[in-house]
Amino acid sequence: MTEGARVNPKSITRMQDDFDRWYVDVVLRAELADYAPVRGCMVIRPYGFALWENVQRALDDMFKRTGHENMYFPLFIPESYFLKEAEHVEGFAPEVAWVTQGGGKQLEERLAIRPTSETIICSMYADWIHSWRDLPVKINQWVNVCRWEKRTRLFLRTTEFLWQEGHTFHERDEEAADEVETMLGCYRELAEEWLAMPVIPGRKTESEKFAGARYTMSIEAMMADGWALQSGTSHHLGQNFTRAYEITYSDRDNVLQYPYGTSWGLSTRIIGAVIMAHGDDAGLILPPRVAPIQVVIVPIVRSNDPEGTALVEEAVLRIERETPPGVRVRVDRRDGIRPGEKYAHWELRGVPLRVVVGAKDLAAGNVTCVRRVDGAEQVLPLAGLAAQFPEMLAGAQQAIFDRAVAALAERSVDVATLDELIAAFAERPMFASGPFCNTHECEVKVIESVHGLTIRNLRADRQADSAPCLACGRPSEHIALMARAY
């Protein structure tokens, strides 16, 4: 991807010709985002931000439902706070942006621009947690973070991005483990039920886990080119951070203890996932539950037919009036633009349902409805149409999910040996699953066997039952999910 390169205003690259180029074309032309003056940063435009807000609202409701509260920590983190958890520092050091001056003066202590907030949150909670009665702590914040990236892509990897980060502290280890599962479950619910993306949950290998975590869980989704995209992570921090930051509490027997921590995050990267999981050569395909506009109405009017035009306008007003609350409708009344151009405009933007209102159909009391996901066209009576929108949108949501499930099944393969793994990737990227002993040596063998391959996670939904590891042949417990990844 060439950053800063502008898109041809008339066409988007075909997916099969150049998937990366297709992606950038769609992001720019659908007006989701644009490049910012600072390298690696992006401007999220209103249509992209509305999509993010819908994702945010769905997820925030889940956080509240599972007993979390939102709060806010500052953007700047003193260097001394940062240095306390060694593994964490080492993991993040290359990506941190530092503020060294303020108000025209050199600062006495450098300030990190948060790449994530464990360090400052733990430092503050060391003062606020004293007793077992103060636990559990379950908080979340919706913020921007900064990670200085060398190679960036709109939404997928940007130097500054938006996300939520949840942080919790618990009395017992198992409670923290349950929290990690619960929050991964929320991400899965968001991905599957809202974003119509089937995902594979599992545990990251040691080399892929979050810096400072005991273990990391992830959900992985398949993009239209067969690559994987990590769509949310949930970490069990054990007592690593609470020990480093000296968070202690008196337990029920009045003994001083360190609580167990978790953290979990999902970012604007998920917008990139939605684009790449569902889109086609005409542009975006948005799941109705998060689409900023769910139904677009295109009135067909002709200047030489004032009578027909009046009927069309009357029908449009009726649809608007009869639309149930909560359905997001837009009428495209723009002058001087041909209907075909309007259709392409809204197809590019992924609007799930198009209703075409023209005098010819109306003469028989009908309008034409076209579904974005499969182009399915229906001529339906105007009377009672709007009341059916919720059902039609639910049908479109299901069709998008079913299509993604079929694509995932079609490009998934089980492998028993490295040779089978290599053969599976000979033609195109796949999601390969195989028994894996979870040692570092075997991970290296696996990733070196196919260019660009990574172990996405150790699947939570499948077990190896002592089948021989695909790399070393020893009995193994895990099924590794292997794919190329964004």
Nearer to Zn ion, 6 or 440 (CB): 440
In the complex, minimum distance from the CB of residue 352 to Zn ion, in angstroms, rounded to a whole number: 46
33 or 437: CB nearest Zn ion: 437
By C-beta, is 154 or 469 nearer to Zn ion? 469
> Residue 411 phi/psi, 5° resolution?
-110, 20
CB of 469 to Zn ion, least distance (A): 3
Q: How far apart are CA 153 and CA 369, in angstroms?
A: 35
Query: DSSP strand E in 26-154: where?
Result: 33-35, 42-44, 69-70, 76-78, 97-102, 105-113, 137-146
Judge whether 169 and 135 are in contact, CB under 8 Å.
yes
Query: Which window, 72-80, 270-278, 399-407, 431-439, contacts Zn ion (CB under 5 A)?
Result: 431-439
- For residue 222, the minimal CB distance to Zn ion (Å) is 25
Give the nearer residue to Zn ion in terms of CB position, either 198 or 435. 435
Query: Which of 88, 55, 53, 65 lies closest to 183 in space, CA to CA?
Result: 65
In whole angstroms, the minimum distance from the beta carbon of 446 to Zn ion comes to: 9
What's the CA gap between 480 and 293, in Å, rounded?
A: 39
Contact 479, 458 (CB under 8 A): yes
Residue 466 CB neighbour total at 10 angstroms? 11
Report, in Å, the least distance between residue 432 CB and Zn ion.
Answer: 15
Minimum CB separation of residue 200 from Zn ion in Å reads 21
Q: Which amino acid is at 431?
A: F
CA-to-CA separations, 347 to 197, 300, 302, 353, in angstroms, rounded: 20, 17, 23, 9
Question: Measured between alpha carbons, how far is 243 from 260 in angstroms, rounded to an integer?
Answer: 9
The answer to whether the beta carbons of residues 41 and 34 sit under 8 Å apart is no
Compute the 3-state secondary structure of the chain and give helix, strand, coil in percent, each to the nearest 5.
35, 30, 35
Binding to Zn ion (CB under 5 A): which residues in 66-105?
none
Cβ distance to Zn ion smaller for residue 311 or 467: 467
Question: Distance (Å, rounded) from C-alpha 31 to C-alpha 345?
Answer: 11
Neighbour count for residue 181 (Cβ, 10 Å): 15
What's the CA gap between 471 and 443, in Å, rounded?
8
Subset of 433-472 contacting Zn ion (CB under 5 A): 437, 442, 469, 471-472
Looking at the Cβ atoms of 166 and 202, the one nearer to Zn ion is: 202
Size of the site for Zn ion (CB under 5 A): 5
Closest by alpha carbon to 311, among 376, 252, 366? 366
- Find the shortest distance in angstroms from Cβ 433 to Zn ion: 15
Stretch that binds Zn ion, among 5-13, 124-132, 406-414, 430-438 (CB under 5 A): 430-438
Nearer to Zn ion, 368 or 438 (CB): 438
Q: To the nearest whole angstrom, how small is the minimum distance from the Cβ of residue 481 to Zn ion? A: 15
Q: Which residue, 284 or 471, is less far from Zn ion as judged by CB?
A: 471
Nearer to Zn ion, 48 or 435 (CB): 435
**Helices and strands of the chain, counted as H and E runs:** 14, 23
User: At its nearest, how many Å lie between Zn ion and the CB of residue 445?
Assistant: 8
Phi, psi of 477 (to 5 degrees): -95, -25
Draw the binding track, 305-344, toward Zn ion (x: CB under 5 A; -: no contact): ----------------------------------------
Residues forming the site for Zn ion (CB under 5 A): 437, 442, 469, 471-472
